[in-house]
Structure 1
Amino acid sequence: MTDNRHAIPARDARLILAAVCLASITLPLSFSGGAIATPAIGRAFAVQGADPAALSWITNAFMLSFGSLLMAAGALADVLGRRRVFSTGLMLYVLASLALCMAPSLLVINLLRGVQGVAAAATLAAGSAALAQVFDGAARVRAFSLLGTSFGLGLSLGPVLSGLLVQRFGWQAVFLCLAAFGLLALLFGPPRMRESRDPDAVGVDWSGTLSFSGALGALTFGLIGAPDRGWSHPLTLSLLIASVLLLAIFIAVELRTRRPMLDLTLFANARFVGVQLLPVGTCYCFVVLLIVLPLRFIGIDGMDEWHAGLLMLALSTPMLLVPSLAARLSRRVSPGRLSAAGLLVAAAGLCWLAQCGPGVSRWELLAALLVIGAGTGLPWGLMDGLSVSVVPKERAGMASGIFSTSRVAGEGVALAVVSAMLVALVQWALPTGTGTLAAQYLGHGDLAQALSAAPQLSAESLRDAYAHAFALLSYCLAGITVACAILTVMLLREEQPHGHPVIAGKAVE
């Protein structure tokens, strides 16, 4: 592998790190900022017949393309060069963000969000690989620790910053801000980077990429459309069956490829499988709330974007503090037990959140969100390091790639699953004969459109139906989180190997 570390001055190395961290901040901003902007976008395009399923693609289009192309982007960076792919990804990200500000329709917004996801995959994969070429040893650990902190900062600041921008300047300001962050990263980093490639790289596994992306896409389309069409509708069943078949094709392709982008033999390691459960748990106890809660606060509870963003700080701020605490505690407590304990705390917070219906005090709601965020922070601070520490050192790169992909792709699937669950629960809570359209609008946090679709019902009765559905959903999420905690303890029962502590989410060799 080409190594140019000695050719990069210390000042340039710091600026490269700043650029990659700045780019890393924009990715969770794209995720949480899009959720805050969704109600305003829905209001802006209501005259064009914006339906709730189309609005859900504002987030899902980004997550689908981001998660499905992350491994392919890493392979492409190895072949074409990390600097080139990082620069191209950032330029595409900036252009897509600027185009979003001028999008004439909801369809164009959703397509551009997909382009943003492609750009984000290239930026994250190539940026992380570039840092590994710039820094070594303890400096590399510190660099990746700062990278993880930057991601947490984006999660924490995303809702409140986006809320302020939407309320003061309109939803376009969110994407303009993303473009500005991307442009700064583009100006700081690439001019100082040295190109590096993997001389042993064999190119992108296109068969694997297409089958994997197709499986995720079919599953997401099927889940999002199921509440409207029905779970037994031929199109819904066809999409779900297609996702299973494409996944089987993907597995067959990876087993036959000489250098697969996903080494399935790693899943024979029980501890590695246990690590993959951690992002599943954090998806269902934390990540999905970053999307569902702003829609509830703005569309159902009637908050403005700024106050909704402030309230979301209670959920995301612990991510700046608790992961570092988890890294220190992991020296005395098994990371598996510590992670499971965090998931159980988050599950308790979800049960508390289920009790926070209409009229609950803001302080009680804040407390429930703080408990969820604090509990999630324990596995969040350990799982990146665990993903590479549970496998032999020579397979750490592949293990990290698999973990990153399963995390991001899993988040996209979790969003589609939870969205479908909430709409189904709302439909069940509404009076018989109300119709599916009102349930879809209400499930996606659009009380005004739900009233239009069901004029025979009052706003109060619709809020009560939503509150009942949200409580049931919270209990379901808590159950999934508890199941992940139990399986984590069972699969990660061995202690962290002595001499390989986890520091700020990374294993030190």
Structure 2
Amino acid sequence: MLIPLCFTGPAVVLPSVNEALGGTAVQLNWVINGYILTYGSAMMAAGSLTDIYGRKRVWLSGLALFAAATIAIPFSPTVIWMDVFRLIQGLGGAAAFAGAMSSLAQEYDGHARTRVFSLLGTTFGVGLAFGPLAAGALVDSLGWQWVFLATAAIGLLGFVMVAWSARESRDPNATGLDWPGAISFTAALALFTYAVLLAPEEGWGSAAVVGSLLVSAILFAAFIVIERRVARPMLDLSLFARAKFVGVQILAASPAFFYVTLIILLPARFIGIEGQSALDAGRLMIALSVPLLVVPFLAATLARWVTAGVLSGIGLLITALGLVWLAQALSVGNGASIILPMATIGIGIGLPWGLMDGLAVSVVEKERAGMATGIFNAVRVSADGVAIAIVGALLAGLIQSGLIRMFSATATSHDGMIEAANRIAMGDLAGATTILPDVGRALLVQSYDNAFQMQLYILAAASVVTALIVFALLGRVRTHDEDGA
């Protein structure tokens, strides 16, 4: 429940935060990406810590850090302080989630494990379906600060429940955390995401972007060398020699690009561009996520007769259909016309959503479930941060290109167009209009609409390609194969 609230809540409150605290486009983007960055980067290390120090202990420690940071967020004096607390919140979230997943993996086997992890997918769907609505209601009634305070309260409730009910367990063969590997991986991923986030503002050829990408590549290479040499690596690279393992990681990353990015982009469009209230935007977002209440359970049932790979590939094809449909529906209007396309996307992504976790914990022996969980969730959640950064940069780039084509002959400065495009991409139409007062609101919206539609077509094509890869690599895999073969 907490994870989707941490995704959807900030997306809904961002316009209110912009009004209250100001901040540059990059600073405001980090309200979204700060949590996702540390959450994904620390997930693999957190999974290893659960094996070493105990799954319940890491779970409780993570919840405590998460709740403390979340309580501090609404009292931030500036957007930069909010970004810092979101980074800390992500660290706590990573520890809590890794402890929870590896604890559950110790309690269930075979098809029962598939059903349990499908239930997690459904729970996630509850948060996604009603999180934007709840956040919108809180923003409109009590203020944006209560979105974070309510999330902290749920975290504290979770702490009490875990302390009372969970059993402690650890890997008896664990020797210690691979600190060089953890540091190099986390730093590499952070720099890569930072570069992608910075590119729309500074340009891909800027020294800061190129330098960050170069150092990131060096650190990733160092991480690979480190993992090949340590006795108990945080990431067993030999697993990537297995086609099925690679397929699971590709599948893990797919919802980030074809679904999670919409959780961020659509509220920004509904509130910032179309002028809807936070509550109305939350109501619309239900259509995208409510299928996750049912479809993961349906997928777990169908997996008795149809392989997980085939079901997942079919789901990605359905997602592609929904993305194309949504692109066409948004071009003619909102309201009822976009509900069915959004629901189609949710149905499509719900099929692999209910199967991925069961696959992830089957690739290694049960005693090292923490590593398996850490690897899978590091890929999945790291992909969230990377996808949001890439898709956000793509949208800003498409808007920039459109503005430059339309107004290159005018006196409007190139820098002004870049800043305006970044503002529109995050839903700040008023700020973009202030930067380019001579362009006009209608033309800015037209440029945004064209870019948004093209982006959805690109994502649809990528979803089809991913489906074909999943069919090839995972077509014969069943989630309840206990040996993970």
Q: TM-score, normalised by structure 1?
A: 0.89
CA contact (8 A) 2:260 2:384 kept: yes
Candidates 282, 297, 300, aligned match of 1:327 = 300
- Residue 58 of structure 1 aligns to a residue whose secondary structure is helix
Corresponding residue to 1:96 among 55, 69, 72: 69
Equivalent pair of 1:275/1:383 in contact (CA under 8 Å) = yes
Structure 1 residue 437 and structure 2 residue 410: aligned?
Answer: no
Unaligned runs of 5+ in 1: 1-24
Please tell me the residue identity of whatever aligns with 1:163.
G
Deviation at 1:440, TM superposition (A): 0.8
Counterpart CA distance in 2 for 1:445 and 1:72 is 35
Change beyond 3 A, Cα 1:142–1:333:
closer
What is residue 494 of structure 1 aligned with on the other side?
Answer: 476
Q: Write the deviation string for residues 95-129 of structure 1: whole angstroms up to 9, x where unpaired.
A: 11111121111000000000100000111111223
Specify whether residues 119 and 361 from structure 1 end up closer, same or farther in structure 2 by C-alpha distance, changes over 3 A only: closer
Give the distance between the partners of 1:214 and 1:272, measured in 2 at CA. Answer: 24
**Equivalent residue for 2:7, pick from 11, 23, 31:** 31
| Identity score, percent | 45
Aligned to 1:474: 456
Q: How does 1:347-496 map to 2 (within 5 A)?
A: 347-357=320-330, 359-389=332-362, 398-430=371-403, 431-433=406-408, 434=412, 435-496=417-478
Check if 1:286 corresponds to 2:262.
no
| 1:298 corresponds to which of 265, 268, 271 | 271
Give the Å deviation of 1:157. Answer: 1.7
Quick one: distance in 2 between partners of 1:229 and 1:446? 19
Match of 1:8 in 2: none
1:281/1:485 contact within 8 Å kept = no
Aligned pairs for 1:125-136 (under 5 A) are: 125-132=98-105
**Does the 8 Å contact 2:10/2:32 carry over to 1?**
yes
Contact persistence 1:386–1:507 (CA under 8 A): no
Q: How many residues align?
A: 476
Verify the 8 A CA contact 1:280 1:484 in the aligned structure 2: no
Partner Cα separation in structure 2 for residue 278 and residue 395 of structure 1:
21
Pairwise CA distance, 1:194: 4.5
In structure 2, do the counterparts of structure 1 residues 97 and 388 end up closer, same or farther at CA, with 3 Å as the change threshold? closer
- Residue 436 of structure 1 and its aligned partner are, at CA, apart by 0.9
- Alpha-carbon distance between aligned partners in 1 of 2:429 and 2:331, rounded to the nearest angstrom: 14
Matched position secondary structure for 1:201: coil
Aligned partners of 1:494 and 1:177: how far apart in 2? 43
**Distance across 2 between alignment mates of 1:270 and 1:113:** 36
Root mean square deviation of aligned Cα: 2.2
| Counterpart residue type for residue 452 of structure 1 | T
Distance between the aligned counterparts of 1:140 and 1:282, measured in 2?
21
1:432/1:241 CA distance change after superposition, 3 Å: farther
Alignment correspondent of 1:216: 189
The more displaced of 82-91 and 61-70 is 82-91
SS in 1 for 2:329: coil
Distance in 1, Cα, partners of 2:166 & 2:364:
30
**Contact 1:439/1:450 (<8 A) preserved:** yes
CA contact (8 A) 1:429 1:465 kept: yes
My pick for the range that moved more, 440-449 or 395-404, is: 395-404
Aligned residue runs from structure 1 range 26-425, under 5 A? 26-46=2-22, 50-132=23-105, 143-357=116-330, 359-389=332-362, 398-425=371-398
Distance 1:262 1:278 in 2: 18
- Deviation string 1:13-51 (CA, Å, 9 cap, x unpaired) is xxxxxxxxxxxx1121111111111111111112xxx11
Cα shift at 1:484: 0.5
Structure 2 unaligned blocks of 5 or more: none
Q: Deviations over 1:305-363 (max 9, x none)?
A: 00101100000001111111122222222322221111111111111111133551411
CA distance in 2, matches of 1:323, 1:413: 25
Tell me, yes or no, if the aligned pair for 1:28 and 1:151 is still in contact at 8 Å: yes
- Note the C-alpha offset of 1:81: 2.6
Q: Distance in 2 between matches of 1:181 and 1:409?
A: 24
TM-score, with length taken from structure 2? 0.93
Whole-angstrom distance in 2 between the partners of 1:332 and 1:140: 17
Distance in 1 (alpha carbons) for counterparts of 2:363 and 2:100: 24
Q: Indicate how the Cα distance of structure 1 residues 361 and 60 shifts in structure 2: closer, same or farther if over 3 A, else same.
A: closer
Q: Is the 8 A contact 1:141 1:508 kept in 2?
A: no
